Structure 1
Amino acid sequence: MPKAPRLTTALAASAAAVLALSACGGDSSGDAESDASKSSSKASGDDAKDSKDVTLAEPKPADAKAVEAIAVTEAKGKKGPSIKLDDSPVKVSETTRDIRTEGKGEDLADDAYAEVDLAMFSGKDGKAIEGSETYTSSPIVLDLGNAQALPGLIKAIKDQKIGSSGVAVMPPKDLFGSKGMPEYGVDGKDSLVLVYDVRGQLPEKVEGKQKRLGKDMPEVKYNDGKPADITIPKGATKPKKLVTETLIEGKGKTIKKGDTVYVSYTGVTWDDGKVFDSSLKDGRGPFSFPVGGQQVIPAWDKAVEGAKVGDRLLIVAPPKEAYGSQAQGPIKANSTLVFTVDVLGAP
């Protein structure tokens, strides 16, 4: 019997539901947008919030005192953080945080995709919530501008500097609602304690001088906040094999199989040069996938493995490296696809 996914998987799915794109690079066997939306709906419980509500209120003195009294033992090596409650159960009327370390990095943007390490504990007895801790694995990415996210997490992390760390207590209404998440031992009555460290934020695009390619290769013009212009050269022969070119060379970590990578992208068909999908449309934001996990077309798994964070890639995918003989939405059967992909991060 397969194990239940980690709680952090559910948290990331909910807090970054905007990452659920229409899966232009996805497997044609499923609908990534609808699947992720279902996951988000489940994770966010029955107390959805509008974006105007996702702000941290001035704490009540009793709430602030209760949070300040929580003792934290920091994560070390292969051991995550732990807490000790001075008085249990700990409860708050509204999400309340205590910043223990003021970061020295840049301010998080209001709509940042924040890289955060976190661990969650029961407000009833201080015990760790199984599957919630990321300190011994890798940070998750939270979309701070997503109105459909779990408001308690967003309230706890927003309006801080990179490098900040602290403790927050979140009431049920700001997390999983009155139903809780029983599969993780979280009921709908008790507050949860969050220990967090703000590690960074994803850039909107990669930076650097873009390399020019040969006359028979597509030309890419990046547009801030809009899909890239990809021009297919007239009379050029379609490649029969996968082509990957690095337009901008990054200086970040090298992507390995199994890494979860965050990218922005634009895709066009070789035959007409029309955009069929882009993460830069409709304010959707970055797309994430596990490299080598066969959750995207083969071309993406092959092209991104071995690339570096900060790379801008040009990918030309013949049909066998894309959707083959199957049509996919606006993409006709046996289409050669052209993508520009910015590798934004791999926490």
Structure 2
Amino acid sequence: MKKAHLVAQGSLPVNPTHRTVIEGDGLPIGPDSLIVTRLASYEVDGRGENAGPTFSTFSGGPDVLFTAADFAAVFSGAGDVGNDWKNGTRLIASGSGPPVSGEGSSSQDTATVHVLDILDHYVAGQTVPGEQVESAGALSGVDVTDNRHPKTVSTENPVPEQLEAITLIEGGGEPVRDGDRIVVQFAGVTWTTGEVFGSTWKWNGRPSAYSIGTGQILPGWDEALPGVPPAAGSC
């Protein structure tokens, strides 16, 4: 897609709205997907003018991740969004903003306008491809097949004295580095009780994104995941 460039014309939008300006021809997104987007935001005033983007990832920086629910919450009034969009779709979304005053002029209403390109998405329940090996040792019994919630280790197994990590399916992407953002499916289980304390499968299988090595996630992830190759083609 070409770089986003907004030319403001006409009156400001009265209510939040969105429209598709480029129809995508990739895979449809569907509910509970995690959507990878490129985003530029503009502020336009009542004269139909703008001073360029206030935020943009078109010239660099990490892509912006949304769910359809996120989009509906941020761009209120957008309605039932996301399910029919496809990779390659470009959207414009707008909403009214607070009044601002310019030198030598009276107070003007403003609107924030967003240009959003859908680059890719991760579907609900998506897991990495490949043949899974048997887990062994204290971590024996871990199994994730047929996109189902993982079968996890038995609580009768002894608790490891230190961090243990095993690879069930070897990825083909570039190894994870500190500071990278990863998209994951996960289930977290309390060893002694077997209680699931966190799981993307409990979120309708919607993948989640986290930064590695920043203290954003469990310390074991920050320790174990750097150097691990993700599935090929991951963002």
User: Which TM-score band applies after superposition, normalised by the shorter structure?
Assistant: 0.7 to 0.9
Partners of 2:140 and 2:90 lie apart in 1 by 45
Q: Corresponding residue for 1:258? A: 179
2:151 match: secondary structure = strand
Equivalence map 1:47-62=2 (5 Å): none
Among candidates 101, 119, 139, match of residue 199 of structure 1: 119
Greater share of helix: 1
Of 195-204 and 214-223, the range deviating more from structure 2: 214-223
Among candidates 209, 214, 217, match of residue 136 of structure 2: 214
Equivalence map 1:136-147=2 (5 Å): 136-146=60-70
CA RMSD of aligned residues (A): 3.5
Partners of 1:308 and 1:155 lie apart in 2 by 38
Q: 1:129 to 1:281 in 2, by over 3 A?
A: same
Displacement of 1:95: 1.0
Q: Corresponding residue for 1:134? A: 57
What residue ranges of structure 1 are gaps of 5+ in the alignment?
1-72, 76-80, 173-177, 181-187, 312-343
Q: Kindly, what percent of the aligned residue pairs are identical? A: 22
Displacement of 1:169: 4.0
Partners of 1:110 and 1:272 lie apart in 2 by 33
Report the TM-score when normalising by structure 1: 0.54
Equivalence map 1:173-188=2 (5 Å): none
Q: Corresponding residue for 2:39? A: 118
Q: Which amino acid aligns with 2:67?
A: D
Partners of 1:144 and 1:91 lie apart in 2 by 22
Q: Corresponding residue for 1:63? A: none
Report the TM-score when normalising by structure 2: 0.76
Displacement of 1:163: 1.6
Partners of 1:251 and 1:153 lie apart in 2 by 41
Q: Which amino acid aligns with 2:5?
A: S
2:227 match: secondary structure = coil
Equivalence map 1:265-280=2 (5 Å): 265-280=186-201
Equivalence map 1:1-347=2 (5 Å): 74-75=2-3, 81-85=4-8, 87-91=9-13, 93-100=15-22, 102-124=23-45, 125-130=49-54, 132-135=55-58, 136-146=60-70, 149-152=73-76, 158=82, 159-166=84-91, 168-172=92-96, 189-203=109-123, 204-206=125-127, 207-222=129-144, 227-232=149-154, 234=156, 236-281=157-202, 283=204, 285-310=206-231, 345=234, 347=235
CA contact (8 A) 1:251 1:310 kept: yes
2:61 match: secondary structure = coil
Aligned residues: 221
Q: 1:110 to 1:238 in 2, by over 3 A?
A: closer
Q: Which amino acid aligns with 2:110?
A: D
Partners of 2:66 and 2:20 lie apart in 1 by 19
Displacement of 1:143: 0.8
